[in-house]
Chain A
Amino acid sequence: MNAPGLLRTTWILLRKDLLLEWRTRARLNALIFFALATLLLFSFALGPDTTLLARHGGGYLWLALLFASVLSLGESFRVEQENLCLDGLRLSPTDPQAIFLSKALGNALLLVFLGLTLLPVMIAIYGIELKMGLAPLLGILTLGCTALSAPGVVYSAIANHARAKDVLLPLLLFPLVIPALLAAVKATTLVLQGDPMAQLGSWVGLLSAFNLIYWGLGLVLFPRVIED
């Protein structure tokens, strides 16, 4: 299948996933409340010291997003398993790369939306400030969420068919995304607290490289994962 076909199929699949999501809104609601609970728990674990909470706000945001991403990724293939939807998709026939792209984009969108929802809450309960404004933060949020989603979708497709899938997905995903998490946390912290040493560029570069490698690998490897 050539490139325009691939993009069109991706768009159709993505619209289907988003429509399903919009009709129930079950996953999004669950994710939001789960992430909010996580943020609250961090403040309980550290005590009510607002300066401490504000200083590490970037880290908490990304941990909440990482934990939520496991739920979101697991759900995105559980939906396809009901009534053998994934087999139906493949037989229709759909380019497996389009399935990968749509699932990864869908998850990234959901996570970015989740991050934006958490932001006002963090301003309220942690007292964080946006020293560099919203636009760079939105960029880092997007890069970080796509970095979690691309390898996450490949692993979720694998874990979904294995025994003990709830354990397996985080076990595989967490060590893998450590560099992305590190870069996203550093970059977010710099955006929140200002960047006197001009370090932001290298972290954004690392995050972009991670994205490039894993979106590329996902496109190549994902078709092998779901073949029968």
Chain B
Amino acid sequence: MLDNIPPKPGDKFFRPRRIKRFHLRRVLGIPAVFSAGYGNVGSSIYYALGIVAVVAMGATPIALGVAGILFVFTALTYAEGTATIPEAGGSASFARHAFGDTAGFIAGWALMLSYIVTISISAYTIPPYLGYFWEPFKTSPVIGTFTSVGIVFFLMSVNVIGIRETSFINVTATIVDILTQISLVVIGFITLFNPSVLFHRIIDTWPTPENLVIGIALATIAYTGIETMSQMAEETKKPEKSVPRALLAMIVAVLVIFAGISLISLSAMTPEELATVWNRDPIAGIAFHLPIETIKIVLRPLIAVLAGTILLIATNAGLIGISRLAFSQGTHKLVPPALSRVHRRFKTPYVSIILFSVIAMVILLPGFSGQSIFEDMGVLYAIGSLLAFMFAHASVIMLRIKRPDMPRPFKVGWNIHIKGRELPITAFIGLISSGGIWILLLFTEPYSRWVGLGWMVGGLFIYLIYRWSRLKKSVDEWEIKPEKK
């Protein structure tokens, strides 16, 4: 009977929430969050070392070390941000709360770029590791790139259908990964480490100041996991405590293992060899140079399989991360609703999965011609992630100014007092250094400048059109149109 009543204009605006009971069940603890984060960070060492060596040469350990200090500041900022705002969205959420929707969109869009490049770069480095089993994977650009594109396509299909992936798999893979990396560091220090050789190699191939800074920027690629951990806040038990603890645990693990592996790599081979022969599979290079044959026989295939698996998980994590982020942005009306459209049967955000996978595949395409896209992808990644990091630092500072009384279960120390406000020094240092490196990359790297800025400008264009159309629509909705006769 109610169906017979014609709708009145006012009806459109009164929509009481239909869903009366709706709770989220958070089940992840510190180990699961740590393993998700380390799964990403730990995977990045499999390619970050080589990508940094391409430009930083002998100063690779120094570049990784300086980026490591930046990573500590960034991790502290994320720890406070996530503890204060435990939502999916990471830096995009912080920016939205601190500066409003437009900043939230820009940070989210920059993050999407990083996720896309993470997908491409992780997929791009799987074939060289598998080259242990069949050499053309490493030596042939066509076979290698075809495999990488195939991997992204496979994961796209699997994610559209929606797989069941338990955190048990992630935790197990992370434990095996950490154990292998620790074994490699220990064995490497015993059999390969030679301080005088290392010192000479660093000094003899010291890069230009410009290359050193680009190397530091590229080294930030090693620290992608911060964002992943922050994104998991929404499904973590007591996120205000668990996420900062997991982040602090990861800082220690990452710095120790990365320092060890970078020092051993330059003890094992010259920077030139690391930057050319083993740039896409540096860990395989370390295993190749181990002097003890028995250990080599065991470790080389183990690293090939493990790196392949971990990088596959990282590629998938990138795909899952971007689809969740796009959905979250869509929920806050920051991107067109098509990106958060859920498949009727599979219940997955198929539009965003397909769209972003296709973009990741397009980024890989120049690899078919044997063109070196590795460094370009690295810088492109850094452009996106540094922008997101800048927003994270700025947002934490702004929230301290705008909303000083907000509950902060984790609060960064080392504060300065300005006009009665406590402001974190580490966030300022992080903001200035990330901003400086970001500007330098834009000036020195043409590929990343145009692709990165093109991505951001294109995104802003879509955002403005979408917001304008929504604004126009909402104005139209208030108008009482004459009835049709």
A and B are partners in one complex rather than unrelated chains: no
